[in-house]
Amino acid sequence: MLIDTHAHIHFDSFRGEVNEVLARAREAGVGKIITVGVNSDDSRKAVEMAARYENVWAAVGVHPHSAEEIEQAADYIADLAKNRQVVAVGECGLDYYKSQASREQQAAALRKQLELAAEIKLPVIFHVREAFSDFFKIYDGYDRLPGVVHSFTGTPAEMRGAVERGLHVALNGIMTFTKDEGQLQAAKELPLDRLLLETDCPYLTPAPDRGKRNEPANVKPIAEFLAELRGESIQELSRQTTANACQLFGI
């Protein structure tokens, strides 16, 4: 069995097709999915979807792109996190590449969600893009909370920084089409007991299907690509990444 640890199947791009999407996932061996909120209203939709479908769970949080809403959203996110379908806080973090929110707003939103995760004892799904130095400085103030750096595209040194802190690292379809040798080297060096798989669907469809909508079934070709890249059997990689996800998220 494979697990998609980061999907957005509650997004409008899947409206009216969720049953078919989940059926294709099962056919591909993807037996569990975490659908991840990016702001307060979107997190509500993730929780509602997780409540409707077996083997779908939710994460609730405020993405760095929406960091300015954290003061108004914090209590609502905390209430959503009480739902039994919620297995993580996030996605939250720092994005210095694309986010229009200020670095101060992003840092404040990240700290607020780290405090929530520490209080309610849930792991955290982190979005970190071109901001690892500042991310590690903030994260280090919270006593090594469990979590995962999702959609990792950093350097081998940044990967090691995450692993040394006890974090997991999630890889997705980017690895199948990146031309960045540093990213591929980080994927090769990542310890298997720290590796998670994800799609980040509907985005980041793996090669050779770029341009099409991504979906959880595509964890399978991602896993196959990574197994070959790392010189591991698909059975070994599937077994360990599934165990990693079950342990981190309690699913």
First to last CA, the chain: 13
Q: For residue 99, is pLDDT > 90?
A: no
pLDDT in tens, 45-96: 999 999 999 999 999 999 999 999 999 999 999 999 999 999 999 999 999 9
- The pTM (predicted TM-score) of the whole model is 0.97
33-44 tens-digit pLDDT:
999 999 999 999
What are residue 88's DSSP bridge partners?
A: 59
User: Which ranges of the chain does DSSP label H, i.e. alpha helix?
Assistant: 18-27, 40-52, 70-80, 103-120, 132-139, 156-164, 174-177, 181-189, 219-230, 234-249
Pairing of strands 195-197, 86-95: unpaired
Radius of gyration over every alpha carbon of the chain, rounded to an integer in angstroms: 17
Contact between residue 199 and residue 176 where contact means Cβ atoms under 8 Å apart: no
Q: Which residue type does 208 have?
A: P
Distance CA 110, CA 112 (A): 5
